[in-house]
A and B are shown apart, each in its own frame.
Chain A
Amino acid sequence: MKTNENLLEIRNLHTYFFTNKGTIKAVNGVDMEIQRGRTLGVVGESGSGKSITSFSILRLIEDPGDIVDGSIMFDGQELLDYTEDEMRAIRGNEISMIFQEPMTSLNPVLKIGEQLGEPLILHQGMDKKEAWARSIELLREVKIPEPEGVVHNYPHQLSGGMRQRVMIAMALACEPKLLIADEPTTALDVTIQAQIFNLMNDLKKKHNTAILFITHDLGAIAELADDVVVMYTGEAVEKAPVEILFSKISKFSHPYKEGLLKSIPKLNEEVEYLDQIDGSVPHPLNLPIGCRFAPRCKFATQKCIDEKPNLVEVEPNHLIRCFYPNKEQRDGK
């Protein structure tokens, strides 16, 4: 993995929120990288900092939050040094984003064609007519039937799946180098989710776009991602290519990911009891001193409670933040 191949390189990112009750370290020293034409999946539960990471990339952190440390290199440029105006030229142009709830992220009083045309007029200097024509093409590309009609519609006239396609079309309007998809299918039915996944994969292949895919669903990760970062309380706890992360052969695994995997009911097996991770994600103002996962971990020792493990490469391309990353040795304890 040569560094110059990376389109996006996040190093040691710290995004904090300074509240009256204390400092919330929403993202606390995260490293990640995405290569062109690949999908990086970021998976974690609520409060793991996965969305804040993506907002940090676009520099969309609002008060009382701040990016306090780290570096975000995009296409060889340091985004954290950019002025607000320079960032505005990047957003929706070189980096674009699709959100979870397509209804609230589309403007309800603008026609689909007008919304789609907006980034084209803004970033690509098209006039209204050109932008309108290009909008129809874009809708066709995301497989919306009868795009000539749909451009005249308002968002409420479309179904959830269609709206998410419009969002994707809008995100792709300026052929971004990086597409950030934050839980793009969480609000959709499985049948529609399958359509959107197919679409995202096709578009990635066609335009060589890099995708940062954020989700809480390990299944969606296995379907879509090439590389994966598992996050817990603002930190990466496991990083690997998807084949290694879900490998049945690999001896190494973080107990959190292992627990998540086991707590999902599987279609092809029958169990009386689901494995469960006890307790819940710790409060961000009251994080454990040692390993953040220790209070919920079946294998935690005194060392885990006292000391904080580092993210270590346990086998090629496989990084784990745990004192006992080896499944076999851990189960023996």
Chain B
Amino acid sequence: MENRKIILETKGLKQYFPTGKRKNGEKLFVKANDGIDMVLYEGETIGIVGESGCGKSTFGRSLLKLYDPTAGKIIYDGKDITDLSVKQMIPLRREMQIIFQDPYSSLNPRMTVGNIIGEALVEHKIYKAGSKELETYVKKIMKTCGLDDYMIYRFPHEFSGGQRQRIGIARSLALKPKFIVCDEAVSALDVSIQSQVINLLNDLKKEFGMSYLFISHDLSVVKHISDRIGVMYLGNMVELAPKKSLYATPQHPYTKALLSSIPETDLDIIKNRKRIVLEGDIPSNVTPPSGCKFHTRCPIAKNVCKAEVPIWQEVSKGHFVACHYKGAELV
């Protein structure tokens, strides 16, 4: 894996959002990302999972420089892009794309499908607006994404959820990006449509050799689509591992709890599994717990967990975890 080309890397990435002041004048921040190190190789899919509010969407958006990072570095294709201005980012936007969760609110209702998909191509001066070449190219991309070319003059409201998501995918794909953030890209879809879109994303990856950051709360979908998986909790990566290693030998108690919470359709598994049900809700990330942020809900937390932040370390090849009692039995 080391020989492969790194497409994207973050070093200690922090993304804070100001959220008012205390009475004594101390400024408060939502610590959405609190120091994340990650390397994404070319042609690889990293899945990011975690509960709502863990910072997974913020992380995806920070990578595309949709926010100005508070601290840390983002290195894309060997180039430090942390401090690039909006203008300087424009040529890079061709290569970095995002697919959004909600296929209803992310498409402009007043634009035809052809214009939605072609807009960026015109913006980046690849094709001229209204040209025959543009139309041919858009139709080709639509076909790749499973949309019929007669749909090119239609408006988003004429499509079903699954078709709209395909339009969103076609729009991202039109620029032949090298890196796509899929932010809950299939979560809003019905099960039968979900598998169609997942298969499409996998096909496109093979065809164009793209890298994905696949953000989802659905661990079984993430497992299917990812090569490696990162588990986030309250702004931090708590475990990152190749998927086989993560699902076979999860080290962090939070990962174990997440895995055991997934609804199963196999009745034998339901009967025999030991389910770890976490108590309580995810704490506030304005004033996160001290030490290991998970200690307030962790079934095996000891005093050291309240006091000291666990170190991010490699336990087996490519398997990283931050926990004082990594790998300990929970039940």
Which residues of A (252-285) have their CB < 8 Å from a CB of B?
259-261, 263-268, 271, 273-278, 280-281
**Once the chains bind, are A268 and B191 in contact (CB under 8 Å)?**
no
Which residues of A (14-51) have their CB < 8 Å from a CB of B?
45-46
**Could you say which residues of chain B place their CB within 8 Å of the CB of A194?**
260-261, 275, 277-278
Contact digits for B159-183, partner A, Cβ 8 Å, 1 yes 0 no: 0111100000000000000000000
In the complex, A195 has a CB within 8 A of chain B: yes
- The complex places the Cα of A223 from the Cα of B247 at a distance, in Å, of 21
Q: Contacts A273-B199, A278-B196 known; A219 to B262 CB distance under 8 Å?
A: yes
**Could you say which residues of chain B place their CB within 8 Å of the CB of A247?**
267
- The complex places the Cα of A159 from the Cα of B285 at a distance, in Å, of 13
- The complex places the Cα of A260 from the Cα of B191 at a distance, in Å, of 7
In the complex, A177 has a CB within 8 A of chain B: no
Q: Which of A91-99, A148-156, A185-193, A306-314 contacts B (4 or more CB under 8 A)?
A: A185-193
- The complex places the Cα of A276 from the Cα of B160 at a distance, in Å, of 17
In the complex, B122 has a CB within 8 A of chain A: no
B241 to chain A, nearest CB (A): 15
**Once the chains bind, are B217 and A266 in contact (CB under 8 Å)?**
no
**Once the chains bind, are B266 and A161 in contact (CB under 8 Å)?**
no
**Once the chains bind, are B267 and A267 in contact (CB under 8 Å)?**
no
Cβ-neighbour of B265 out of A145, A246, A274, A296 (below 8 A): A246
**Once the chains bind, are A191 and B261 in contact (CB under 8 Å)?**
yes
Cβ-neighbour of B262 out of A46, A159, A242, A267 (below 8 A): A267
Question: Which B residue sits closest to A275, measured CB to CB?
Answer: B195
Which of A46, A190, A195 has the most B CB atoms < 10 Å from its CB? A190
Which residues of B (268-290) have their CB < 8 Å from a CB of A?
269-270, 275, 277-282
Q: Which of B132-140, B219-227, B313-321 contacts A (4 or more CB under 8 A)?
A: B219-227
Question: Which B residue sits closest to A260, measured CB to CB?
Answer: B191
- The complex places the Cα of A116 from the Cα of B109 at a distance, in Å, of 41
**Once the chains bind, are B262 and A217 in contact (CB under 8 Å)?**
no
**Could you say which residues of chain A place their CB within 8 Å of the CB of B51?**
189-192
**Could you say which residues of chain A place their CB within 8 Å of the CB of B282?**
159, 189
Which residues of A (178-215) have their CB < 8 Å from a CB of B?
189-195, 198
**Once the chains bind, are A222 and B266 in contact (CB under 8 Å)?**
yes
Which residues of B (224-254) have their CB < 8 Å from a CB of A?
224, 247
**Once the chains bind, are B265 and A219 in contact (CB under 8 Å)?**
yes
Cβ-neighbour of A45 out of B190, B257, B277, B281 (below 8 A): B190
B55 to chain A, nearest CB (A): 14
In the complex, A218 has a CB within 8 A of chain B: yes
**Once the chains bind, are B199 and A242 in contact (CB under 8 Å)?**
no
Contact digits for A151-178, partner B, Cβ 8 Å, 1 yes 0 no: 0000000011110000000000000000
In the complex, A220 has a CB within 8 A of chain B: yes
**Once the chains bind, are B262 and A190 in contact (CB under 8 Å)?**
yes
Interface size on B, residues (CB 8 A): 43
In the complex, A69 has a CB within 8 A of chain B: no
**Could you say which residues of chain A place their CB within 8 Å of the CB of B217?**
189-190
In the complex, A243 has a CB within 8 A of chain B: yes
Question: Which A residue sits closest to B196, measured CB to CB?
Answer: A276
Cβ-neighbour of A193 out of B194, B261, B279 (below 8 A): B261
In the complex, A239 has a CB within 8 A of chain B: no
B10 to chain A, nearest CB (A): 24
Interface size on A, residues (CB 8 A): 46
Cβ-neighbour of A190 out of B194, B196, B261 (below 8 A): B261
Cβ-neighbour of B277 out of A195, A220, A242, A273 (below 8 A): A195
B146 to chain A, nearest CB (A): 10
In the complex, A216 has a CB within 8 A of chain B: yes
**Once the chains bind, are B263 and A260 in contact (CB under 8 Å)?**
no
**Once the chains bind, are A280 and B195 in contact (CB under 8 Å)?**
no
A159 to chain B, nearest CB (A): 4
In the complex, B328 has a CB within 8 A of chain A: no
**Once the chains bind, are A268 and B269 in contact (CB under 8 Å)?**
yes
Which of A247, A271, A280, A296 has the most B CB atoms < 10 Å from its CB? A280
Question: Which B residue sits closest to A45, measured CB to CB?
Answer: B190
In the complex, B3 has a CB within 8 A of chain A: no
In the complex, B259 has a CB within 8 A of chain A: yes
**Once the chains bind, are B194 and A222 in contact (CB under 8 Å)?**
no
**Could you say which residues of chain B place their CB within 8 Å of the CB of A276?**
192, 195-196, 199
Question: Which B residue sits closest to A185, measured CB to CB?
Answer: B263
- The complex places the Cα of A8 from the Cα of B58 at a distance, in Å, of 47
**Once the chains bind, are B259 and A189 in contact (CB under 8 Å)?**
no
Which of B199, B263, B269, B280 has the most A CB atoms < 10 Å from its CB? B263
- The complex places the Cα of A193 from the Cα of B277 at a distance, in Å, of 9
Q: Contacts A191-B278, A194-B277 known; A264 to B198 CB distance under 8 Å?
A: no
In the complex, B193 has a CB within 8 A of chain A: yes
**Once the chains bind, are B190 and A265 in contact (CB under 8 Å)?**
no
Q: Contacts A190-B219, A194-B277, A266-B220 known; A274 to B266 CB distance under 8 Å?
A: no
Question: Which B residue sits closest to A197, measured CB to CB?
Answer: B263
- The complex places the Cα of A121 from the Cα of B184 at a distance, in Å, of 43
Cβ-neighbour of B192 out of A192, A223, A277 (below 8 A): A277
Q: Provide 24 A-B residue pairs closer than 8 Å at the C-beta atoms, listed in order of the A residue.
A: A45-B192, A46-B190, A190-B51, A190-B261, A192-B51, A192-B281, A194-B261, A194-B275, A195-B277, A216-B190, A219-B263, A222-B263, A222-B265, A222-B267, A260-B192, A263-B195, A264-B265, A265-B223, A266-B265, A267-B220, A267-B223, A268-B269, A274-B195, A275-B195
> Could you tell me which B residues sit within 8 Å of A by CB distance?
51-52, 160-163, 190-196, 198-199, 202, 217, 219-221, 223-224, 247, 257-267, 269-270, 275, 277-282
Q: Which 5 A-B pairs have the closest CB atoms?
A: A219-B263, A265-B224, A263-B195, A277-B192, A45-B190
Add 7 more A-B contacts to A222-B267, A246-B267 (CB < 8 A).
Answer: A190-B258, A190-B262, A194-B260, A219-B264, A246-B265, A268-B266, A274-B195
> Could you tell me which A residues sit within 8 Å of B by CB distance?
45-46, 145, 159-162, 189-195, 198, 216-223, 242-243, 246-247, 259-261, 263-268, 271, 273-278, 280-281, 296
